[in-house]
Structure 1
Amino acid sequence: MKIAIIGAGLAGLSAALTLEKNGFIPDVYEQNSLVADHYSHVGVVLNMAYRSISLEPLKYLNKLLTVKLSPLETINNLIINSQNSQASVKNEIIGHSFVVGPEPNSLQNQILKHIKNSKMLYEQRESLENLRQRYDYVIVASGSRSEDYVADKYLKGWHQYLVAYSRVAKIYGKFEPNTAIVWGDKEILKDGYAFLAPFSRQIASLYVTVPHVSSWAELDQIWKAFFKKEGILEKYTLLGTFERTHVSAYSSSVTWENCLFAGDQGCFLDPFLGLGAATAIVSGVMAARAIIENSSYDKLVQEHKKVISVMSKVRNFYDSIDDKTFDFIVTSEDNAVIKKLIYGTTIDWLKYGSKALGPFLKQKKSPNVHDTFSSPAE
């Protein structure tokens, strides 16, 4: 059986590894010269986002892949900032951080080192239409960058939740490796957020991600306003930045003819926080399993797509509130009892909250995915 994979990111690599372990050797087409972005950053798998699937997402991923992924840190502390309030959650397992990028210990390279036989075809850009004629199956896992996005052309019932512009900085200063920091300020960050996750005690990633804006110039204004208000350049040294867009979408099916769509292309990117590592891995594994078992990929990922549906309702809720409401939420979260109920129990608060609020929320409109670009024009 001939199988092609488009994209050697987390979804594509997870699919290749699963196929290999079951006796199938795919061809993996990657347009870049390596399996990850050239610019490294820190990604976080948050436990709360995946409670409906597993109480321990990292163990779940390790079991799916049949390899042990090594996190950068266990995130035990979370600081949440609104315009006028702050909540601090301490000594709870919030999630795990990972390096994403070209480093040997990155999440992508941890998976790649277990792939022995798959044919890795770097610097190869192949169209879906071409490959689907030459292969029995094609797994489409080429990410959500606007120039590479094709899912909207093929998937049934496809529609986007949002397009978000993101700028990620690497900064130098003093950090606690097991502590992540989140900012939500509607006046400054609009419907977006800022997020800090450390590489080490000296280096951290700082994200600013904003949906529903229409240009890089608009993101740049938001970026500068956030940096000024929080005094980022007074506290830290800016080492570099990179930019990209993210597409969060929904489709009633993630298959089309002999093609299976995984990762961001399969609509597995969380529309609230832009998280995608865990669902990318899961979707890649499930796409491979569907081929191996000759089973329904749509059924295999049904429960995992519900995670994205829940997060879409959380996103719509966040879009609909103002700073006063978010201040109240953050102040409430700083109550010891409430913090323990939210972070120290196994209750799926996001699921139940989204069900209660869902009928009253409206979705904001983002620019069309193909009207954006992954980085500013030179």
Structure 2
Amino acid sequence: MKVAIIGAGVAGLAAGIVLEKNGIVPDIYEQNLFIADHYSHIGVLFNMAYRGITAQPIKYIKKLLAVEISPLETITELIINSKNSQATISNETIGHSFIIGQEPISLGNQLLSNIKKSKIFYEQRQSIDNLSHKYDYVIVANGSRSEDYIADKYLEGWKQYLVAYTRVAKLHGSFKKNTAIVWGNKGILKDGYGFLAPFSSQIASLYVTVPHVRNWDEFNQCWTGFFAKENLLENTTLLGTYERTHVAADSEGKQWRNCLFVGDQGGFLDPFLGLGAATAMATGAMAAYAIIKNRDYNKLVQKYKRIINIMSNYRNFYDTIDDDTFDTIVRSEDNPVLSKLVYGTNIDWLKYGSIAFAPFLKHKDSPNFHETYSSPK
């Protein structure tokens, strides 16, 4: 059986690993000279986001791929800042961090080390239409950018509903290695947020993302206001930045003819927190299992689609509330008993919360929303 994979990110590599372990050696096409992001940053896998599937996402992914992957740190403290409040959740396993980038211990390079036989063709920008005629199956795993989308041309009922402008920075200073920090301030960051997680005790990754803005000029106003409000450069040094846009989208199905869309291309990017690595690896693996076992790929990924739907409701909720409401939420999370109940148990609070407030939510489209397409005949 001949299988092609477009994209050597974590979704494509996960698919390649599972295929190889089941006797299929795919060809992997990567448009860049190397795998992973151009600019290194920290990604965090939050346990609570995946309780609808598993209480231990790291073990779940390891079992799914049948490989060992090692997080950079276990996040045991989360500091949440709103306009006028702060909550500290500590002494819980909140999640795990990974390096996303070129480092040898990055998540991508850990997965790459498990690719044993497949050929990776670098600097190869391949057409889905061409590959779909040359191969029995094509796994489309090349991420998402609003200015360079592919799934919108192929998946029936595809609709983009959010574009987020994102800047990732490296800061030099003094940081606690097991602590992540979140900022939300409607007056400055609008419907976006800031997120900091450490590479080490001296270097941290700062991720600022703002959805629903029209252009980079609007984003820059948020960025400048955020740095001024939080005095981030008072005790740290800005080492460099990297920019990109992210797309959150959905479609009726995740397959076109013999082409299976995974990760961001399949609409599996969390539109609330921007989480994507875990569902990218999982859906990449499911595409491989669908091919190996002749299973319905759309059915195999329904549970991951449910997670994205839940996080979409939280995105709509956050878009709807004001700073006063967010202050109240943050103050409540500073209660040790409540934080233990929310973060220290395996109860799927996100699911129940989503059900409770879903009927009252209003959907907000990004202003740079672009036209959707139907599948080619």
The AA in structure 2 aligned to 1:357 is: F
- 1:133-212 pair list within 5 angstroms: 133-212=133-212
Match of 1:375 in 2: none
Mapping 1:1-378, distance limit 5 Å: 1-368=1-368
Deviation at 1:38, TM superposition (A): 2.0
Matched-pair contact (CA < 8 Å) for 2:146–2:163: no
Q: Could you tell me how far apart the structure 2 residues matched to 1:120 and 1:369 are?
A: 34
Give, in angstroms, the shift of residue 240 of structure 1: 0.4
Change (3 A) 1:368 1:154: farther
Q: Which moved more, 1:34-43 or 1:312-321?
A: 34-43
8 Å Cα contact 1:254/1:266 also seen in 2: yes
Q: What is the CA distance between 1:368 and its match in structure 2?
A: 4.3
For this pair of structures, how many residues does the alignment match? 371
Distance 1:42 1:308 in 2: 21
Q: How far 1:161 sits from its partner (Å)?
A: 2.8
Runs of 4 or more consecutive aligned structure 1 residues displaced over 3 Å after TM superposition? 367-371
Using the alignment, how far apart are the partners of 2:118 and 2:161 within structure 1? Answer: 34
Question: Deviation at 1:367?
Answer: 3.7
Report the more deviating stretch, 333-342 or 175-184.
333-342
CA RMSD of aligned residues (A): 1.0
Contact 1:247/1:369, CA 8 A, preserved across alignment: no
Check conservation: 2:173, 2:202, Cα contact below 8 A.
Answer: yes
Q: Deviations over 1:280-326 (max 9, x none)?
A: 00000000100011110001111111000000000000000000000
Partner of 2:375: none
| Partner deviation per Cα, 1:131-174 (whole Å, 9 max, x = no partner) | 11211111001101234311112112222231100000000000
Offset at 1:213? 0.5
Task: Give the partner amino acid of 1:360.
Answer: F
Q: Given the two structures, how large is their TM-score scaled by the length of structure 1?
A: 0.97
1:57-92 C-alpha deviation (Å, 9 max, x unpaired):
000000011011100000000000000000000100
2:3 and 2:137 in contact (8 A); partners too: yes
| Contact kept in structure 1, 2:262 and 2:283, CA below 8 Å | yes
CA distance in 1, matches of 2:115, 2:154: 29
Provide the rounded CA distance (Å) in 2 between the counterparts of 1:11 and 1:232: 34
Moved more, 126-135 or 222-231: 126-135
- In structure 2, runs of 5+ residues without a counterpart are 372-377
State whether residues 36 and 102 of structure 1, in contact with CA within 8 Å, keep that contact through their aligned partners in structure 2: yes
**Alpha carbons 1:142, 1:149 under 8 Å: kept:** no
CA distance in 1, matches of 2:133, 2:122: 21
Work out the percentage of aligned pairs sharing the same amino acid. Answer: 68
Q: 1:81 and 1:358 mapped to 2: Cα distance?
A: 25
